[in-house]
Structure 1
Amino acid sequence: MLARNLSKVTCGGVVLLFASLPMQGQTQQTRKAKLDAAINAEWQYELRTYPEMATYVGDTRYNDRLSDYSPEAYAREERHAEHALQLFKALDVTGLSEQEQLNKALMVRQLSEEVEEARFKDWEMPVNQMNGVHLDYAALASQMPFRTVKDYENYLARLQQLPRAFDQVTADMRLGMRDGLMPPKYLLEKVAAEAQEIAQKKGVESPFAAPVVKFPAGISATEQARLKGAIVKAVEEDAAPAYAKFAAFVRTEYAPHGRTEYGVWSLPDGAARYRFDVRQMTTTELAPDEIHRMGLAQVTEIEAQMVALARSQGYSDLKSFNEHIRKDPALYGKSGAQVLGLYQHYVDQMSGKLPQLFGRLPKNKLEVVPMDAFRAPDAVPADYSPGAGNRPGRVNVNEYDPTHRLLLNVEAIAYHEGIPGHHLQFSIAQEIPGLPPFRRFGNYNAYSEGWAFYAERLGKEVGFYQDPYSEYGRLENEMWRSVRLVVDTGVHYDHWSRAQMIQFFRDHTAMDEQNIETEVDRYIAWPGQALAYKLGQMKILELRERARQQLGARFDLRSFHDAVLAQGPLPLDVLEKTIDQWIAEQKAAGGATR
């Protein structure tokens, strides 16, 4: 708490200092220094306040701490955002570079959203089957470094703080019950099961024991024995009991009060809450009903492509082809190892094609690994964990119940989660020189997920998807993301039931039932996020076509991709301005050479 309070005082001091300086007569150098100092102060505040985020970005200074989840902490953070917003609004950036002016604009945008979001008190309903401390902390061992004795001692300190963290989150959830801020009951029952499964893992089977299974050679045998004993004790006396207590609370006290309606429309300020979610996740001003209509149009367009492929395989319509797919055991996984191997194969084959598509490639490595077993039953087929520092990026492959998983879209998902999708985009952003950390490590869902979805098509452009079923899987992914526009707005805006969402998937895809239900539950738990994929992809495709038409023979795909990735994650409206400027620069350069 001392460090937390000091960080607040430091940032507050910066606010007061900058606010007290006269704006008139400032030199350009002074204005730049003030902007840079404010950006750095805000970044340092974020690292101190959210030590897990510091770990995530490779800063190890706070690896012995966990976040403060108390209501008082959230109130302080809200006040800080309000003060910081006024600071950045007041900064004069006249005469500074375009990038420096963009830094200010993005920081003001980020802080404005934080201030606006505070009214909804999302911290009072902090867990669901996909997100929450019960899953985040079980993954600590895969996020932290374990090279030195100090690394292990940091980890031990965090394990010992888990009871405090879970008690605080539990208290927040009780406030949510009081205020009517509750996730759906059936999803909370999944949370209880997830936490209980982690709690009952003993010895080396516990995800928390992973770091003591094997130590680095540089740590002596004596220290290994000491650290292993202390960490196993902390697992048994701190981590496991905290999880068991939390699981019991969710199961017996919390879940029974979960809401029975699926959409966020049923929450206090539900309509405003969803409008905010849509704007934040898509970085657009599109209304939910407009997005719903866009989704229906996309479904119709992609369905025509799928019908053509189905007919090429001897089926008269999509329904009969989808039925064949659902019933053909040859199209399902055989084992977790087989599924993992397929992802590795597709990542490997794409690696050799990257120079055809990009002028700049990332330095950070990529691994294909099994997904943590404790989250796999309710998780997507695969996802991505960004690397940082010496930690490689990871494609996490879901090996759960492989014989009920269709393999059609494995190739497309490998390109999405790995390369040239998430791994390439996140890694390049982190490696851009001169970009402030809040932008290098930032994330706008519409940009990042839109890019990864766009990347699936690049596999076709370099000659992949040779298997017609794999190509159908790619089209299924296109349909999948278009269906999301319909069902996300359907449940949260048009009051659809879960059964309606599932039926819409069945009517328009060949997805297996397990995947359909996991996806539907994800949209219910995470309003608006699923909209980002298709809307982001559509914007990138729109900008690419605009560049191609305006540049003609001078259009270079590699240069376009480099331009899209050159400034790290951006809101879609800012990305559009960036690419329009790039097009103008390409035109000017082309004209000058004639």
Structure 2
Amino acid sequence: MKKLISFTLASSLFFISAIHLHAQAAQSAADRSKALSGLFAEMWEDRLQHSPEFASSIGDKRWNDQLTDYSVAAYNDRLARGRDYLLRLAAIDTTGLSDQEELSKDLMARELAEQQEAANFKPWEMPVDQFNGLQSSLPQLVSQLSFETVKDYDDYIARLKKMPAAFQQITDNMMTGMDDHRVPPKYLLEKVLVQVNTIAQEKPEDTPFARPLKKFPSAVSAADQERIKAEMLDAIQKQVLPAYTRFAKFLQGVYIPAGRTEPGVWSLPDGDKYYAFRVRQSTTTDLTPDQIHQIGLDEVKRDEAEMLVIAQKLGFKDLASMRASIASNATLHAKTKEQMLDLYRHDIDQMKTKLPDLFGRLPKAPLVVDAVPAFIEKDQAPAYYEHGTPDGKRPGTVYVNTYDFAHRSLANVESIAYHEGLPGHHLQISVAQELTGLPEFRKYMHYTAYTEGWGLYAEHLGKDVGFYQDPYSDYGRLEADIFRAIRLVVDTGVHSKHWSRDQMVAFFKEHSGLDDATVNAEVDRYIAWPAQALGYKMGQLKILELRAKAQKELGAKFDLKAFHDEVVDSGALPLDVLDERVTAWIAQQKGK
């Protein structure tokens, strides 16, 4: 099998610098602006064409009958195209162009160079875990599709028929990973097997893939409905379910036995280097795992001090007694799944009324709340957000995990609602999608530290506008905050300090009152997804730091709405870039 061509960040930057020296300075600013815009458009089209599922998720139906090519050859082609784009991008001099054009060029160059560097660690060899992979992404894609015409259904059926080839491609990649000793932990793969078997053992009409048959639009005739139903169920029966069954047999008989025993990525080839890369990628900082570990310990201590104040006001002598009380308090646990969903809807709705006080620009896209799909709920986080389409036809959705609802605390519902919905992910991502005058790729950039940092900062905004009136809910806010601080400790603990899973769980239980289902799902998430969870707290701390800086330097001139608009109005940004832009904005405000 072909080996993946690697290309280092240093090599990328060398080429950028070399070509930049020969940029055609004689070109007019208008010509260079046009060339840059044209290149961005070409690269955007490239992304959509080679990532058809992503294209479908944002409402572009041109490749609705296609699936991504997951072969090694396709990865190599992508890297080669990326190197070519880097060279062409570097050849365009941005002197005299707008601030946003210069920023767009810098962000794209950074993203392309990072893709080249990531290839050194062969991420394609470990394409599945309990959070990511075809086994879950394909059925989840169904809810992101719109079915308005006969062609929509026919394209979907054609896509279903391509699933066996896609599963074979990732199976081949995983076998190469076994040869290279790059495999996930065995116990996590056992969770993947459960997910795969859940779908493999269902009747065709009961699978998530048959969801489009539940309701047809009036534009589809009765005759077409019958044909579509027969062809779709046939494709599920003869193509999709056999692909899942074969994949399950591969997992059980071949892959799981080869799974690694150590949870930390330090145990992989170049594991320490890989984790350092992931830390830098997730946090967009140059902080070391040791530094982040200490920040986490400090933040845990700070949160516990604030939590103790609330506990003592409620009559508890310490945090342990309050946590025990919450765990046994029936009023702080849902009685039904629908009650959980309604509480999220209530908190999001009440925040809507406060948004004009916090932001000058508000999102137009609608937002709904729904339950996490049953086939993945056991291993999912308490909630997550899925963006809608820019045209608003598919709303943004906050998915709430109602698995084992009777044992999930309701104290943190309010903070999570603000994080995932408003003014968190839905506001920030929708505003980005609705921006005008920027290249399309800017509307869909995702920097974990920025996006998740904003979500965690959004939890704090509820306090600013007078919410969290229930002391248990305010305690839940701090519980949610400390849970992100704990992430800094346990993520670096397992991947850098060689902690065991038991050590991670013990630290969680010592410093939080989170239920067992949440603790177990979270710990397994950090093991499967190294450094991703670091971005939340690091991003929040940076935004709070910049806000405090602006308040101190601007004094009476400080406008919270203007500050928020400055933070969100350029889309997602690396934290160092956000710092530079907010610092420049502060200087500009001083001069007014």
TM-score (norm 2): 0.95
Partner of 2:182: 181
Q: CA deviation at 1:546?
A: 0.7
Aligned residues of 1:57 and 1:441 also touching (Cα < 8 A)? no
Partner of 2:34: 33
**SS of equivalent residue, structure 2 residue 385:** strand
Partner of 2:291: 290
Show CA shifts across 1:55-92 (max 9, x none).
12221111110010111111111222222222212221
Q: What amino acid does structure 2 have at the position aligned with 1:372?
A: P
Partner of 1:365: 366
Stretches of structure 2 that go unaligned for 5 or more consecutive residues are 1-15
Partner of 2:54: 53
Cα separation, 2, equivalents of 1:76 and 1:528: 27
**SS of equivalent residue, structure 2 residue 493:** helix
Aligned residues of 1:413 and 1:456 also touching (Cα < 8 A)? yes
Count matched residues.
573
Q: CA deviation at 1:518?
A: 0.4
2:476 is aligned with 1:473:
yes
Cα separation, 1, equivalents of 2:470 and 2:254: 51
2:425 is aligned with 1:414:
no
Partner of 2:149: 148
**SS of equivalent residue, structure 2 residue 64:** coil
Aligned residues of 2:52 and 2:68 also touching (Cα < 8 A)? yes
Partner of 2:517: 514
2:467 is aligned with 1:457:
no
Cα separation, 1, equivalents of 2:50 and 2:189: 28
Q: What's the Cα RMSD here?
A: 1.5
Q: What amino acid does structure 2 have at the position aligned with 1:568?
A: G
Partner of 2:228: 227
Aligned residues of 1:204 and 1:213 also touching (Cα < 8 A)? no
Q: CA deviation at 1:398?
A: 1.0
Give matches, 1:79-118, under 5 Å: 79-118=80-119
Aligned partner (choices 490, 495, 502) of residue 493 of structure 2: 490
Aligned partner (choices 568, 573, 576) of residue 570 of structure 1: 573
Aligned partner (choices 417, 431, 450) of residue 434 of structure 2: 431
Cα separation, 2, equivalents of 1:563 and 1:63: 36
Cα separation, 1, equivalents of 2:261 and 2:82: 34
Q: What amino acid does structure 2 have at the position aligned with 1:141?
A: V
**SS of equivalent residue, structure 2 residue 591:** helix
Cα separation, 1, equivalents of 2:538 and 2:109: 24
Q: What amino acid does structure 1 have at the position aligned with 2:311?
A: A
Q: CA deviation at 1:343?
A: 0.8
Show CA shifts across 1:365-388 (max 9, x none).
001111111110100111000011
Give matches, 1:203-282, under 5 Å: 203-282=204-283
Aligned residues of 2:414 and 2:473 also touching (Cα < 8 A)? yes
Aligned residues of 2:185 and 2:260 also touching (Cα < 8 A)? yes
Show CA shifts across 1:123-179 (max 9, x none).
011000010010000112101111111111111111010001001111111011111
**SS of equivalent residue, structure 1 residue 307:** helix
Q: CA deviation at 1:22?
A: 6.8
Q: CA deviation at 1:97?
A: 1.1
Between the two proteins, what is the percent identity of the paired residues? 52
Partner of 1:391: 394
Aligned partner (choices 579, 582, 588) of residue 579 of structure 1: 582
Q: What amino acid does structure 2 have at the position aligned with 1:229?
A: A
Cα separation, 2, equivalents of 1:248 and 1:279: 37
Cα separation, 1, equivalents of 2:568 and 2:25: 37
Q: What amino acid does structure 1 have at the position aligned with 2:229?
A: K
Aligned residues of 2:546 and 2:582 also touching (Cα < 8 A)? yes
Q: What amino acid does structure 2 have at the position aligned with 1:436?
A: P
**SS of equivalent residue, structure 1 residue 527:** coil
Give matches, 1:99-138, under 5 Å: 99-138=100-139
Partner of 2:508: 505
Aligned residues of 1:289 and 1:489 also touching (Cα < 8 A)? yes
Aligned partner (choices 512, 525, 529) of residue 532 of structure 2: 529
Aligned residues of 1:347 and 1:415 also touching (Cα < 8 A)? yes
TM-score (norm 1): 0.95
Aligned partner (choices 552, 560, 563) of residue 560 of structure 1: 563
